[in-house]
Amino acid sequence: MRIGMTTTVPVEVIYAAGHIPVDLNNIFVEHPDPVSLVRSAEFEGFPRNSCSWLKGMYTLALNNGCDALLTVTEGDCSNTKAMAEALTQAGLPIIPFAYPHDRKYESLEREINKLIRALGTNRSDVDEAKRRLDKIRRKIRLLDERAEEYPSYINHYYQVCSSDFCSDPDRYEERVDEVLANPGREAETNLRIGYIGVPPIFKDFYSYMDSLGVLVCFNEVQRQFSMPFDTEDITEQYLRFTYPYDVFGRIEDIKEQSKARRLDGIIHYTQSFCYRQIQDMVLRANIDIPVLTVEGDIPTEVDNRTKIRLESFAEMLEFRG
Ligand code: SF4
């Protein structure tokens, strides 16, 4: 079965069960005409003031993008839950999974075991899948450590795709190996920037940053998708994953990485109509280097207004030295 995903979930369980994970976010953003997917969901009845990611994923799921949808019922947005209800109505099987709010080992262990049973696999096959994917995760970490040697987009792309390993871990690993063997950053770099928030819906965000002489050398959420830590078991791995839990765990990670990577500033990307926009206040209050908040709505190129703001931010950071 092709199992659709709307965010990062314990993908090891899907592979262990012999299914193919498909991260609908990645299919959506790489679609030749992603705006048409958004418009199609609106035509079906999605409110205009709901997030474009969701509308794109809904259209893909509805049009045979997957045979079942693994839905995160806790730790993701409530819009996803409503989308899953609409897809249930349309006849798509839904497999629920939750990241428990208390972030306790026993609670998450229970959820993972439920998922293992629902997909008809067992712990030892999951452990084997984890060992296989851990080997690839270590290579993505290496790519992240060498961020300076590549255009900004590369690190973002391989981290964001690690949610499902492009549905083919062997091919994905080959591609990572090729990239590791062929570094090459053409643009000159003056500034080191961090990117926080959900991945950008803008197609050319990273190339635009490169054109400003800015290296984006930290991608908060995308890096978390790649699980950049060594863990003994799968429950511990998904407990350390900050994204589905509260914003304070994310802040700790952002502060630690900002220091380690000597960041000059941070861009906080927010998605129109996403509840996470509210977290901007908390993030800004806790981050002690300059932060620029930008907002994206539909999947297009970076608009001119945002370009001017990004350019001014880069100039301001340069001026500060
Ligand atoms: S961007 Fe926000 S609203 Fe949209 S799917 Fe992600 S969490 Fe939900």
The percentage of residues in the chain with a pLDDT greater than 70, rounded to a whole number, is: 100
- Distance (Å) from CA 255 to ligand 1 centroid: 23
Amino acid (1-letter code) at residue 155: N
- Distance (Å) from CA 213 to ligand 1 centroid: 30
Buried b / exposed e along 218-236 (16+ C-beta atoms within 10 A):
bbbbbbbbbbbeebeebbe
Q: Is the pLDDT of residue 185 over 90?
A: no
Residue nearest to atom 2 of ligand 1 (CA): 274
Residue 26 in tokens? 């990645």
Whole-number Å distance between alpha carbons of 7 and 19:
17
Q: Is the pLDDT of residue 306 over 90?
A: yes
In the chain, % helix, strand, coil (3-state, to 5) comes to: 55, 15, 30
- Distance (Å) from CA 261 to ligand 1 centroid: 28
Asked if 148 contacts 217 with a C-beta cutoff of 8 angstroms, the reply is: yes
Whole-number Å distance between alpha carbons of 188 and 89:
52
- Give the pLDDT band (50/70/90) at residue 209: very high
Looking at residues 96-120, what average pLDDT do you find?
97
Residue 265 in tokens? 């500033």
- Give the pLDDT band (50/70/90) at residue 189: confident
Looking at residues 10-36, what average pLDDT do you find?
97
In this predicted structure, what is the pLDDT of residue 190? 78
Residue of 24, 247, 276, 297 to mutate, ligand 1, most atoms within 8 A of C-beta: 276
Residue 146 in tokens? 């060498």
Nearest atom of ligand 1 to the alpha carbon of 51: 4
Ligand 1 environment, Cβ below 6 A: 51, 53-54, 77, 79-80, 198, 271, 274, 276
Helix (H, G, I), strand (E, B) or coil at 96: strand
- Distance (Å) from CA 60 to ligand 1 centroid: 16
pTM of the model: 0.95
In this structure, how many other beta carbons lie within 10 angstroms of the beta carbon of residue 106? 9
In this predicted structure, what is the pLDDT of residue 60? 96
Whole-number Å distance between alpha carbons of 313 and 320:
11
Q: Is the pLDDT of residue 77 over 90?
A: no
In this predicted structure, what is the pLDDT of residue 170? 98
Residue nearest to atom 7 of ligand 1 (CA): 77
- Name the least confident of 69-78, 109-118, 126-135: 69-78
In this predicted structure, what is the pLDDT of residue 141? 97
In this predicted structure, what is the pLDDT of residue 68? 97
Q: Is the pLDDT of residue 92 over 90?
A: yes
Whole-number Å distance between alpha carbons of 135 and 69:
27
pLDDT in tens, 221-258: 999 999 999 998 999 999 999 999 999 999 999 999 99
- Give the pLDDT band (50/70/90) at residue 188: confident
Asked if 254 contacts 266 with a C-beta cutoff of 8 angstroms, the reply is: yes
Whole-number Å distance between alpha carbons of 138 and 79:
33
Radius of gyration of the chain from its Cα atoms, rounded to whole angstroms: 19
Q: Is the pLDDT of residue 186 over 90?
A: no
Residue of 38, 48, 77, 250 to mutate, ligand 1, most atoms within 8 A of C-beta: 77
pLDDT in tens, 257-269: 999 999 999 999 9
Residue nearest to atom 4 of ligand 1 (CA): 51
Q: Mean of the per-residue pLDDT values for the chain? A: 95
